[in-house]
Amino acid sequence: MKMRKLGDLEVSEIGFGTMSFTSIYGGSPDEAEAIRVIRGAHERGVSFFDTAEAYGPFTNEVLVGKALGPIRDEVAIATKFGFDIDFETGQRSGLNSKPEHIRKVVDRSLKHLGLDTIDLLYQHRVDPDVAIEDVAGAVKDLISAGKVKHFGMSEAAAATIRRAHTVQPVTAIQSEYSLWTRDPEPEILPLCEELGIGFVPWSPLGAGYLTGKIDANTVIASTDFRAASPRFTEDARKANQPMVELLQQIATSKGATPAQVALAWLLARKPWIVPIPGTRRLDRVEENLGAADLVLTSADMAEIEVEASEIDVQGARLPTAVLQYSYR
């Protein structure tokens, strides 16, 4: 697989998001199978893996550590801090990016992951009660101490990113971005280009919707996070079907799948964009990685842009209680 640069961090052009190995989509998968899929992704060329203390909480970091420990020197591992999670009970109560808390989280994440240093450390969400300069300064100190290599931010506003970057250069921004979630385009992507920051789209397949395998008739379990998402109500899924039909149309003409077109579209946007699709299945990993070989011409991209602009995507991308933490 070809490599791309997030700032000065070199990673595979498609990464792997491991959040799906928690119970967010329902019951957690078997650990042995999860490890097989994660290692299988690496065997097929993936060198960039994403986790967070909040996934589980903590259990996802432990899983990723077990899966990637034997090949540690061949991969880049990203994790995140930013939520106020009790280390003993796992109870979460809002945000916490106080420098002393960040230091404790990093020590705990290093232990969970079995690492000496974290390749990319993101602030998971911006904490309005802590100056971003203090957050960046705390990460800068961790980099100086050898515990962290690179600083990232997730779902942050452009002005906040710029302020943080003056204290500690930001390597990557991670925010939701896909053909049906275009929020980063007006301000975040131009800022990334200006400052030489890489961009990592999470949920690049629209939590599965853009693959074409979910429609208005799909039964979503109450334990699946999508059951609470405004964009996954039955009405919204029905209304948003034209987006899937657009991807299917392009996929048919290219001998590809809708998922591959959705990922190839992101790869074609900028050379410093590295999507991190997640899946619990190795065959889906293989399908997703096939996007790296799919060439979308300028004519293809123009066609997608014109047709997508005529589709009014229905439903907020996240519940209000979650959206309140974004773009601050």
Instruction: Set out the domains of the chain in order of their start, with CATH numbers.
Output: 3-209+267-294 (3.20.20.100)
Residue ranges, the chain, pLDDT below 70: none
Compute the 3-state secondary structure of the chain and give helix, strand, coil in percent, each to the nearest 5. Answer: 45, 15, 35
Q: Compute the distance between CA of residue 116 and CA of residue 244 in angstroms, rounded to an integer.
A: 43
Catalytic site positions: 55
Query: What pLDDT is attached to residue 230?
Result: 98
Q: Which amino acid is at 89?
A: T
Closest CA to 279 of 177, 201, 211: 211
DSSP state of 279: -
Two tokens, residue 100: 């002393």
DSSP state of 297: P
Query: What pLDDT is attached to residue 152?
Result: 99
Q: pTM for the whole thing?
A: 0.98
Q: Could you read off the pLDDT of 146-194 as tens digits, one per residue?
A: 999 999 999 999 999 999 999 999 999 999 999 999 999 999 999 999 9
Q: How far is the CA of 86 from the CAs of 58, 95, 154, 163, in angstroms?
A: 11, 11, 21, 29
Give the number of residues written for the chain.
328
Strand partners, 121: 79, 151
Q: Compute the distance between CA of residue 300 and CA of residue 285 in angstroms, rounded to an integer.
A: 24
Q: Compute the distance between CA of residue 126 and CA of residue 328 in angstroms, rounded to an integer.
A: 6
DSSP state of 324: T
The separation between CA 244 and the C-alpha centre of its own chain, rounded to angstroms, equals 21
Q: Compute the distance between CA of residue 59 and CA of residue 76 in angstroms, rounded to an integer.
A: 19
Two tokens, residue 103: 């230091």
Two tokens, residue 4: 């791309």
Q: Compute the distance between CA of residue 265 and CA of residue 310 in angstroms, rounded to an integer.
A: 17
CB 76 within 8 Å of CB 9: yes
Query: What pLDDT is attached to residue 45?
Result: 98
DSSP state of 115: -
